[in-house]
Structure 1
Amino acid sequence: MTAITAIPALDTAATTTAVESIAALLAENYVFPDVARDLADLLRRRSSEGAYPAGTAEELADAVTADLRSVNGDLHLALKYHAEPVPEHQGAAVMAEMRRKFDDSLGGVPRVELLDGGVALLELAPHMFPLDWAAQPLTAALSLVAPARALIIDLRRNAGGDPNTVAFVCGYLIDGRTHLQTLLKRQGEVAEQFWTPSFVPGARFGGSKPLYVLTSGDTFSAGEELAYDLQQLKRAEIVGETTRGGAHPREGWTVHPHLELSVPVARGVNAVSGTNWEGTGVRPDVPCDAGDALDRALALATARLMRH
């Protein structure tokens, strides 16, 4: 039996130091400079008022996260608690956690199934993993469903990930090289553009057969982007619930051995709408409870195939 090592509490000095580090990182990196200053001022004021007393790292994470989201509700803003010590390298904590989930989910493709009437179901969860990991399992899964008469992509448990992977998946579902979104940094300069690839390995499902995307109130970030991109291009019908509403790519900084600060450093601009789903979520074309979304989409696909 493995003994659980107790995590020492943060004293007042350590808490104050951590909060000041968080405030400085926000002011320097958050995508909206005006909001960044407001948040930094808020954290420093709350700290001086004693809002963050000595206690556990988990308690501090909860309190700071609530304050970080109190200004504009950005769900990518967070102070994340990790029971295991956080690697010091920037972003390493998130990548280590994602790797564990990748290995436990068949590379992010936990379900591929042929349903009635030649309709295929492809679940992408729990993340859109980094493309250098996910290209092989995604190629296998997307090639397998390519001959289907219609396709349902299940994103109800997808909590986000890599926009490069979103573009890769779209390459199997859209004909021709297509601009999806542009990331803008905090001063408005272009950070990166995302296009569907001109070539994908394996077989394409293509851009004309019926396509449905399932969403839930838990669908987030890059999972939302896949649904939003396909919806804006009028390539797919979105079936299910409005998603969580997080459109800002984030980076992570270690501020304590068990605490990682998540800060959005850019904002996505969709090539069709000129905006994104931040704060609003992706609104479904066919609203229904997430638990009913698969049956609803299958009925829609079956009816459409019968008409043709």
Structure 2
Amino acid sequence: MTTPTKLQPAPVIDETVRLLTERYVFPEAAEQIAALLQRRLAEGAYDVEDAEELSRLVTADLQSVNGDRHLRLKHHAEPVPPKEGAATLEAMRRDFDTSLGGAPRVELLDGGVAVVELAPMLFPLEWAAEPLSAALTLVSRAEALIVDLRGNRGGDPDTVAFVCGYLLDERTHLNSMYWRGGERAEQSWSPPYVPGARFGGQKPLYVLTGDSTFSAAEELAYDLQQLGRAVVVGESTRGGAHPCQGWTVHPHLEATVPFGRAVNPVSGTNWEGVGVQPDVPCAAAESLGRAHTLALAQLAGRP
């Protein structure tokens, strides 16, 4: 019987500190967080035997300085490959294959109101374009649409733009990304063309959110809200606006470090730390019924 190798926290912390100082979009905060991790290591705060426990302790410290929820030391039960981003990609692929490509539910409610659930992620566009196009084309004939993001934990900004293409009438500036060390922004626009039929930019649109809605899912809700295109119904979201990448720092641990920040062209800011605030606040469990009622009332009032 092989004795398990004792967890060595120092190499994990050293590599996490290196990634922070080299990659994090906010260099000054990176220095503060790195100093905190090194101090906590020296104090013995990370002298634990379990990688999952170490991930919990380090994540709490990573997020303690500026509350960035994308700064994490993620634990993976199965060993993860050392390639950059590979751990996250493998987990995404498993979720993609078991969620009909990220559109697990399409339903027509009374009154011609359709629901499309996008969960558990907005997967990379090269995977998700076909299933999302099929789902969004199917609901394009509805009189009103409810997009359910309550169980969506984030994903690909390119996929956000792709989905917006079905919900708008023309190419639209959605967001701008500023990378570490760069003064010029990389703009995100909805596509001028989408495969299939658009729901379009005129019919009633509602977006459901909850306290699990995060990252790219928040961007989708926020972009549509700021454009005045959708009514957001439900709970405030988690508040993560910084795109990040993951690096394996231990066979079961992945450090995720944000390398950019989002700026909305309408608001001039983003949802970091505060979340997307619903236009119609209510419990997430009640938001579908609430949005359906609002959609029926809006349809009844139309000429």
Q: Which whole-Å CA distance do the structure 2 matches of 1:8 and 1:184 have between them?
A: 42
Aligned to 2:233: 239
Specify the alignment match of 1:285 in structure 2. 279
Task: Provide the residue aligned with 1:158 in structure 2.
Answer: 152
Partner residue of 2:27? 33
Q: Is residue 2:196 matched to residue 1:202?
A: yes
**Aligned partner of residue 146 in structure 1, secondary structure:** helix
TM-score (norm 1): 0.96
Residue 198 of structure 1, CA deviation: 0.5
User: Is the CA contact (8 Å cut-off) linking 1:176 and 1:198 kept in structure 2?
Assistant: yes
**Residue from 143, 149, 154 that aligns with 2:143:** 149
Question: Which stretches in structure 1 are left out of the alignment for 5+ residues?
Answer: none
The CA deviation string for residues 27-79 of structure 1, in whole angstroms up to 9 with x for no partner, is 11111000000011111111111111141111111111110011011110100
Q: Is 1:48 the counterpart of 2:45 in the alignment?
A: no
Q: Write the distance in 2 (CA, Å) between the matches of 1:73 and 1:8.
A: 33
Residue 116 (structure 1) aligns with: 110
Number of the residue aligned with 2:256: 262
RMSD between superposed Cα atoms in Å: 1.2
Distance 1:188 1:306, change over 3 A: same
2:200 and 2:6 map into 1 onto residues whose CA distance is: 55
| Helix, strand or coil at the partner of 1:201 | coil
SS of residue matched to 1:79: strand
- Cα distance between partner residues in 1 of 2:33 and 2:190: 36
Number of aligned residue pairs: give it: 301
**1:179 pairs with one of 170, 173, 177:** 173
Letter in 1 for 2:121: H
The DSSP-based 3-state class of the residue aligned with 1:132 is helix
Provide runs of 4+ in structure 1 moved above 3 Å: 5-9
Shift of 1:6: 8.7
Q: Does 1:86 align with 2:80?
A: yes
Residue 115 of structure 2 corresponds to residue 127 of structure 1:
no
Offset of 1:8 from its aligned partner?
A: 3.9
Instruction: Say which of 214, 217, 230 aligns to 1:223.
Output: 217
**For 2:291 and 2:4, how far apart are their aligned partners in 1?**
47
Alignment of 1:42-81 (within 5 A): 42-81=36-75
Q: Quick one: percent identity of the two aligned structures?
A: 65
* C-alpha distance in 2 between matches for 1:54 and 1:245: 30
Q: Alpha-carbon deviation of 1:190?
A: 3.6
What amino acid is aligned across from residue 9 of structure 1 in structure 2?
A: K
For each residue in 1:158-198, what CA deviation from the matched residue of structure 2 results, as whole angstroms up to 9, or x when unmatched? 00000000000000001111010111012243463210000
Determine if contact 1:245/1:281 at 8 Å carries over to the other structure.
yes
Helix, strand or coil for the counterpart of 2:102? Answer: coil
Q: Structure 2: which 5+ runs fail to align?
A: none
Q: 1:9 aligns with which of 6, 11, 31?
A: 6
Residue deviations 1:104-154 (CA, integer Å, cap 9, x gap) = 000000000000000000000000000000000001000000010000000
Residue number in structure 2 paired with 1:300: 294
Q: Separation in 2 of the partners of 1:211 and 1:273? A: 20
Determine if contact 1:8/1:56 at 8 Å carries over to the other structure: no
Tell me the equivalent position of 1:274.
Answer: 268
